[in-house]
Copies of this chain bind each other. A is one copy, B any other.
Amino acid sequence: MRELADLTRDDVADLAARSVLVLPVGAVEQHGPHLPLITDTMIVCTVAQRAVTALGDRVPTVLAPTLPFGHSEHHLFACAASLKPATLTAVLSDLIESLHTSGFTRFFLINGHGGNDETVRSVSKSIVNRLPVAVATANYWQLGGPGAPPRDGADVPGHAGWWETCLAMATRPELVHTEKFTAEPLGPRGLHSYEPTPGLNVQRHGEWARSGGTTDPAAGAAGMIGAAIIQAKVDGLVDALVRFDELTGSTR
């Protein structure tokens, strides 16, 4: 695994033109009473590191330091270290632009937090109009197979519910407060967490607070299930990187 952090400028001069720069994007925000603030960053970082390691030399990749902070304004009813959408847009654009000046032409933004989704996509669409680069984006949870069947009634991926709790337990179990798991939801289902009818998305002021800040109860979560899911996502990211390299490697 080649990390941008560890390279010298000479290494970059040698590698940039032919490599895919992988940039994980996380978030620091409340994840219910039982998960740590770092949950999203920790999981996406794990998935990215494992995928890049698994790839080996099949695709030339350089893994950038994870951006630990994302857009989490909706979690400020409890706590978050949040970037506004315009700030996150500027951060991602600046990073791609400066790394392009440094020689990279292919970027893969692997996202770990739903609140970043629109901004990550928007930056990718916009920056290719200005710079001669290719930019792949993916939410890690949408890659690969399911890994394990979801618990009945669990939102996938949801927020701080059964699914994400499984993944956190598989990653850093010592940070998961299993004694705070509940079998009942912490509040009514948030309008933001599902499509009331296909294609319809609803946002409402104060909704995250009303919902208790999680999408579904953590009860039943287990590290072994999380490990299976993570493996599926790692496989999915490996596949996506291979695909991206095939599609953009020869024509650039």
Cβ of A203 and Cβ of B115 under 8 Å apart? no
Cβ of A65 and Cβ of B87 under 8 Å apart? no
Q: Which residues of A contact B (CB under 8 A)?
A: 4-10, 12-13, 16, 28, 30-38, 41-42, 64-69, 72-74, 76, 78-87, 89-91, 94-95, 98-99, 101-103, 115, 117-119, 121-122, 124-129, 131-139, 142-144, 175, 177, 180, 191-192, 196-207, 213, 236, 239-240, 243-244, 247-248
Q: Nearest chain B CB to A179's CB is how many angstroms away? A: 11
Known: A128-B203, A136-B200, A201-B136. Contact between A31 and B5, CB under 8 A? Answer: no
Cβ of B69 and Cβ of A81 under 8 Å apart? no
13 A-B pairs in the complex with CB atoms less than 8 angstroms apart = A9-B30, A65-B81, A72-B98, A81-B98, A81-B99, A84-B126, A87-B91, A134-B205, A137-B200, A143-B198, A191-B248, A197-B239, A200-B240
Q: Nearest chain B CB to A214's CB is how many angstroms away? A: 10
Cβ of B124 and Cβ of A121 under 8 Å apart? no
CA distance A37 to B64 in the complex (A): 11
Residues of B within 8 A of A79 (CB): 9, 12-13, 16, 99, 101-103
CA distance A111 to B76 in the complex (A): 26
Cβ of B122 and Cβ of A118 under 8 Å apart? yes
Q: Which 6 A-B pairs have the closest CB atoms?
A: A142-B199, A79-B102, A5-B38, A9-B30, A65-B68, A118-B122
Closest B residue, CB atoms, query A191 = B247
Q: Which of A36, A87, A203, A206 has the most CB of B within 10 A?
A: A203
